[in-house]
């Protein structure tokens, strides 16, 4: 089968798209294309042909260019591939997905976020415009999504929304690849008095709460990821706890593994916004896969997963001294922290690995007549 993944906004090495979905399909023997628009050139890696639709000289960042220009270029190049399945990952690609479908193609819409609520929470536009536009965006997304062959959703909550409008909805969670974070017997002897956060860094991901807690921590907080707002970062740097924070920037997968190896816990102090309250952030499962405890916001949705399995601690992110007390306790009780981490790792191996999710993805594709994939799943 020829399968084309299309993204106008994600990085070519996006964990879900490239490392998980594309590489899994390539290992199954399919011809897999990944169409991107980042100006870094085309290449072929791990059996995945990456096609860049813009030239280095003409590459321009910006939401408008991504929404209008790059998505159209991806669509035109995708048509030339004559793929058996088109699998796109961005809401701005929805009109082009519709055109692909109208031409008789099989089309998947892969929904990573509940986008209307994600846009509202991140305040990309003035408040009065968000109140007006977000419901319209949801109506338009639903209208076009109904016409796709299959909707793949990253969480059960997103699936629940789309199951109301579409019969063929598959939940393929963004769980970690087991062999990406191998456990080592003596890893805890190499730990530092540090906790980490991995992901986009912003107010909604708990930037200010982490810096506030750092003031009372007897160690370091390591932040890895893209800073979404220079203004927010400037405010964070003025806080007393910033001298115990180390900003690492965006890390590749090997660097992420190295960071997790030296950290004693992973932070997930998200704000209680609608898009987060019932989310399943990949960073939570990556912490567990690396066999370190999770210190998370006290969302009820996470209670059974973390405290019910003894692999994490939930706490109000606003209580900075209490957060620091939890971190310092883990620093001073490494054996307790190690046992929590091991319980998390065992839970990942049992229930929350990409290896299990990839089988679900193959079964979803088998519904289009790829019956040989069913045999692979059985094996």
**CATH number of domain containing 127:** 3.40.50.2000
Same domain assignment for residues 282 and 215: yes
Examine the pLDDT at 365 and tell me if it is beyond 80: no
Question: What is residue 29's DSSP assignment?
Answer: T
244 and 136 in a single domain? The answer is no
Specify the range with the lowest mean pLDDT, choosing from 16-25, 126-135, 149-158: 126-135
Give the pLDDT mean for 92-118. Answer: 91
Q: What is the pLDDT of residue 368?
A: 58
Same domain membership, residue 72 and residue 43: yes
pLDDT band, very low/low/confident/very high, at 14 (cuts 50, 70, 90): very high
pLDDT tens-digit series, residues 120-144: 555 555 565 666 677 788 889 999 9
Given CA atoms 91, 228, 273, 357 in this order, what sign does their dihedral have? positive
Asked whether residue 118 falls in the same domain as residue 218, the answer is: no
The torsion defined by the Cα of 99, 101, 105 and 108, in degrees rounded to 10, comes to 110
67 & 187 share domain: no
pLDDT value at position 374? 38
* Exposure class string for 365-375: b at 16+ Cβ within 10 A, else e: bbeeebeebee
Give the whole-angstrom CA distance, residue 197 versus residue 279: 17
Please report, rounded to a whole number, the percentage of residues in the chain having pLDDT higher than 70.
Answer: 89
Residue 338: the pLDDT is: 95
Same domain, 266 and 166: no
Residues 222 and 265 in one domain: yes
For the CA atoms of 122, 126, 129, 133, the dihedral, rounded to the nearest 10 degrees, stands at -20
Question: Confidence band (pLDDT; 50, 70, 90) for 59?
Answer: low
Q: What is the DSSP letter of 269?
A: -
For 252-292, write each residue's pLDDT tens digit.
889 999 999 999 999 999 999 877 888 889 999 999 999 99
Q: Range of 156's domain?
A: 2-175+353-378
Q: Are residues 220 and 304 in the same domain?
A: yes
Q: What pLDDT does residue 332 have?
A: 97
Given the structure tokens 């897999």, which residue do they identify?
A: 32
Q: Model confidence over 312-328: pLDDT tens digits? A: 999 999 999 999 999 99
Helices (H), the chain: 23-27, 63-64, 71-81, 94-102, 115-122, 127-145, 156-162, 207-214, 230-237, 253-262, 274-277, 282-289, 303-306, 320-332, 334-351, 354-366, 371-378
Residues 108, 127, single domain; the answer is yes
Give the pairing type, strands 266-268 and 294-297: parallel
Give yes or no for residue 378 having a pLDDT over 60: no
Least confident segment among 64-73, 248-257, 306-315 = 64-73
Query: What's the predicted TM-score (pTM) here?
Result: 0.85
Residues 222 and 168 in one domain: no
Please check whether residues 224 and 344 belong to one and the same domain.
Answer: yes
Mean model confidence pLDDT for the chain = 89
In the chain, the N- to C-terminal Cα span, in Å, equals 20
Rounded Cα distance, 73 and 52, in Å = 10
Structurally, how many domains does the chain consist of? 2
User: 137 and 225 in one domain?
Assistant: no
CA dist 268 and 229 (Å) reads 19
Q: What is the pLDDT of residue 361?
A: 86
């Amino acid at each position: 089968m020829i399968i084309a993944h299309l993204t106008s906004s994600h990085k070519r090495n996006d964990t879900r798209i490239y490392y998980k979905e594309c590489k899994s399909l390539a290992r199954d023997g399919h011809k897999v294309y990944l169409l991107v628009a980042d100006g870094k050139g085309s290449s072929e890696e791990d059996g995945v042909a990456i096609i860049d639709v813009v030239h280095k000289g003409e590459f321009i960042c910006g939401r408008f260019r991504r929404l209008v220009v790059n998505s159209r270029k991806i669509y035109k190049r995708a048509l030339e591939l004559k793929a058996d399945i088109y699998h796109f990952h961005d809401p701005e690609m929805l009109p082009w997905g519709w055109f692909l479908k109208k031409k008789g193609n099989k089309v998947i819409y892969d929904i990573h976020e509940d986008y209307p609520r994600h846009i509202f929470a991140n305040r990309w536009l003035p408040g009065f415009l968000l109140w007006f536009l977000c419901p319209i965006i949801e109506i338009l997304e639903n209208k076009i999504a109904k016409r796709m062959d299959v909707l793949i959703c990253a969480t059960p909550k997103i699936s629940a929304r789309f199951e109301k409008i579409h019969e063929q909805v598959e939940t393929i969670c963004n769980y970690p690849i087991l062999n990406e974070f191998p456990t080592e017997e003596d890893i805890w002897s190499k730990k530092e008095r540090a906790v980490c956060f991995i992901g986009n860094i912003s107010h909604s991901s708990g930037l200010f709460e982490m810096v506030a807690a750092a003031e009372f921590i007897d160690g370091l907080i390591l932040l890895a990821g893209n800073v979404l707002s220079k203004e927010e970062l400037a405010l964070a740097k003025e806080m007393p706890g910033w001298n115990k924070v180390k900003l690492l920037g965006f890390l590749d997968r090997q660097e992420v593994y190295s960071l997790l190896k030296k950290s004693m816990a992973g932070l997930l102090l998200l704000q209680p916004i609608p898009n987060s309250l019932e989310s399943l952030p990949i960073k939570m499962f990556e912490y567990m896969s690396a066999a370190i405890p999770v210190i998370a916001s006290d969302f009820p949705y996470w209670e059974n997963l973390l405290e019910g399995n003894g692999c994490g601690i939930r706490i109000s992110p606003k209580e900075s001294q209490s957060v620091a007390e939890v971190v310092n306790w883990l620093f001073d009780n490494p054996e307790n922290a190690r046992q929590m981490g091991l319980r998390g790792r065992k839970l990942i191996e049992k229930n929350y690995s990409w290896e299990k999710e990839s089988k679900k993805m193959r079964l979803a594709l088998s519904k289009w007549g790829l019956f040989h994939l069913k045999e692979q799943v059985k094996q």
